[in-house]
Amino acid sequence: MTRTISTPEAAEAITGIANAAANAITGVAQADPAAAQILAVALAAAILICTTAGTALVVRHQRRRRTPPTDD
């Protein structure tokens, strides 16, 4: 089941994910700086992929709502 979330809810979720990622990178950096760099790149890529996918879903949803019905 899906539900629509508001922009503030989405922003709060994204902020929470970013903070968790920053905490993970900081923790790893204390033990192994090289591993922290790899983790940072991996997390940045994951965030980019998720953001792009989310944007695509929003655009698709908006287009679907704006498309007038066809007379077939």
pLDDT tens per residue, range 15-70: 888 888 888 888 888 999 999 889 889 888 888 887 888 788 777 777 776 666 66
41 found inside a domain:
yes
Number of structural domains found in the chain: 1
Q: What are the angstrom distances between the C-alpha of 69 and each of 42, 57, 64, 65, 66? A: 43, 20, 10, 10, 9
22 found inside a domain:
no
21 found inside a domain:
no
Chain center to CA of 60:
17
26 found inside a domain:
no
Containing domain of residue 51, as a range? Answer: 32-66
61 found inside a domain:
yes
Q: What is the pLDDT of residue 9?
A: 84
Q: What is the pLDDT of residue 7?
A: 76
3 found inside a domain:
no
